[in-house]
A and B are shown apart, each in its own frame.
Chain A
Amino acid sequence: MFENLTERLSGIFENLRRRGRLSEADVDAAMREVRLALLEADVHYGVVKQFTNRVKERAVGHDISRALNPAQQVIKIVNEELIQTLGPPSSLQLKGERPYVIVLVGLQGSGKTTAAAKLAKRLRAMGERTMLVAADPYRPAAVTQLQTLAEQIGVPVFHDADLTPPKLAEKAYQTARKGGVSVVILDTAGRSQMDQDLMDELRAIEKKVPVTETILVVDAMIGQEALNVAQGFRQALPLSGLFLTKIDGDARGGAAISIREVTGIPIKFLGVGESIDAIEEYNPDRLASRILGMGDLLGLIEKA
């Protein structure tokens, strides 16, 4: 079903002898293929439009380098633009007064609870005194799930079944402060950005405690709705980063582009498996190649 973008572009440029520059017609033909590749990777329809316009602007009249054929030339520009859009890797910005508070938010089943444990393990290894907070009172056994994961890494879990999530967050924060905890990680319930009550609950949590990082956790397999999800959470909360999960599958992960484009929040982590060690910092080059479905080819072109 998915023909490689290089093959498609090579087909288009077959008749194109080296004319020195890429004409507008050449580039338009190429952009149709780029557009298709991005849509197949789940980049949002509107974002694809903006993106191809930017690429087109750069590509028209572009001098064809000696080392590259026109197809490679276009791919090089697309790739550079993708990397630009995806942005540099970013880590947690833990500054100011301790304890730092990290809140994980996102749709149902996106991977928040697992991500919370992964972050806790990582921060603990960095020498932080870490505490997890089980702030999902709705999903059956959500608390047990977090406790089970926390046990594997020896991190305490704060929970109180009698408290609403905002009150629980407040009490957890106070407890952490008194106990010399340096990082508090809140695992919240999955929710739709359209659910006003539950979005209000998140707002209330962020009023009760000084939040250092609000991380949106998104499943790499998500489709066109990624844009609305990101926009919805962004409107309600000061998001500070993206955690893209389940990247160990074969989803192309084009949602990352859409989310970056509409929110500007940096991508901070990738989830690469179910185990609590399966967390990686993201690499823009690799994610760009993945979105284009091109593997190592890009590396070769970059060197040319």
Chain B
Amino acid sequence: EKTRKVAFGRIANFLGTSELDDETWEDLEGLLIQADLGVETTLDVIDALKKRVRDEGLTTTGELDQALKDELIARLQEPILPDFSHKPTVIILVGVNGSGKTTSAAKLARRFQDEGKSALLVAADTYRAAAIDQLKVWAERVNVPMIAGQPGGDPGAAAFDGINAAVARKKDVVLIDTAGRLHTRYNLMEEIKKVHRVSGKALPGAPHATWLVLDATTGQNAFQQAKAFQDAVAIDGVILAKLDSSAKGGMAFAIKSQLNLPIIYAGLGEKITDLQPFDREAFVCGIIDRSLEKNNDD
């Protein structure tokens, strides 16, 4: 509690009208850049804040703290969920290697089941060693049926079979876990387009959502990832995994402002229940409060 007071005292000093100088704004700049907001977004936030300090004559610690939070929160969006009236609702998870797709698929299956929706998992990563086994362990743990492709087989075929099985078994939601791929690999991006297309053949209108799973520790490259996947398969939103780590996930701002992609869920650990609907306020507090606490410890 003491640390926090000192911290906010310091921020008040940054932004307070009396002692405001270049160096104090630079401290704020450092805080935002270290949270991976990137230079552009950081400067944009600081400009907006300077304007508010001028226009609104903000002086107290509380006002300043709140203004910074408001500025950041306003740059994000509430999660947008797919239209679950489709039976089944088909959701594809895509992303670069190791970002958290398979774990997120399992967490979502559990979450949807808890919400009373019957789920089916599709293991369409036929490439990575033991990717199917990994999802199978999760499927058994959450007691959700799983349809798997053949190792080395066609991921499109796995998606097709999975959706058909879900239709036959009258499931509410189908979650398709795909192989990790770097967005710069042409062939693999063509492959994910095919999985996307084939889903529509299996069930007209599918997929009803395609979510990009992004590792929160990712830096500026997150933007290129989001852009490339959006160009390839029309992304509807982002799952920000590993937000429980020390990373702040600041690239979410650029991804929202430039690509208009909302964050839907946050991954908060390795356990099956460690997935929460994205909470803008908690996210922003994570950036500001945790950073300040850390700076004060140094």
Residues in A lying within 8 Å of B, measured CB to CB: 1, 36, 39-42, 44-46, 107-111, 138-142, 144-149, 192-194, 219, 221-226, 228-229, 232, 246, 248-252, 254-255, 274
Interface size classification for chain B: 35 or more
Residues in A neighbouring B33, C-beta threshold 8 A: 39, 45, 224
Q: Taking the complex as formed, is B20 at the interface, i.e. its CB lies under 8 A from any CB of chain A?
A: no
CA distance A248 to B96 in the complex (A): 12
Find out whether the CB atom of A221 lies under 8 angstroms from the CB atom of B246. Answer: no
Q: Which 10 A-B pairs have the closest CB atoms?
A: A223-B219, A109-B98, A140-B137, A42-B219, A145-B130, A148-B129, A141-B133, A141-B134, A251-B221, A144-B130
From A226, A246, A252, give the contact of B97 (CB < 8 A): A246
| Interface secondary structure of A, over-half rule | loop
CA distance A201 to B138 in the complex (A): 25
Find out whether the CB atom of A222 lies under 8 angstroms from the CB atom of B219. Answer: yes
With A39-B33, A141-B137, A229-B246 already in contact, the answer to whether A223 and B220 are too (CB < 8 A) is yes
Residues 215-241 (chain B) with a chain A CB within 8 angstroms: 215, 217-225
Binary contact readout B190-212 vs A (1 if CB under 8 angstroms, 0 otherwise): 00000000000000000000000
Residues in B neighbouring A219, C-beta threshold 8 A: 98, 215, 217-218
Residues 19-67 (chain B) with a chain A CB within 8 angstroms: 30, 33-36, 38-40
Listed A/B pairs (19) with beta-carbon separation below 8 Å = A44-B34, A107-B242, A111-B97, A139-B134, A140-B133, A140-B138, A145-B134, A149-B129, A219-B218, A221-B221, A223-B218, A225-B245, A225-B247, A228-B246, A249-B183, A252-B220, A252-B221, A274-B127, A274-B128
With A141-B136, A221-B221 already in contact, the answer to whether A36 and B39 are too (CB < 8 A) is yes
B224 to chain A: closest residue by CB: A250
A151 to chain B: closest residue by CB: B129
CA distance A270 to B126 in the complex (A): 25
CA distance A108 to B100 in the complex (A): 9
CA distance A255 to B221 in the complex (A): 12
Residues in A neighbouring B217, C-beta threshold 8 A: 107, 219, 222-223, 225, 229
Residues in A neighbouring B185, C-beta threshold 8 A: 248
Residues in B neighbouring A255, C-beta threshold 8 A: 219
Q: Taking the complex as formed, is B109 at the interface, i.e. its CB lies under 8 A from any CB of chain A?
A: no
Residues in A neighbouring B251, C-beta threshold 8 A: 223
B182 to chain A: closest residue by CB: A249
A232 to chain B, nearest CB (A): 8
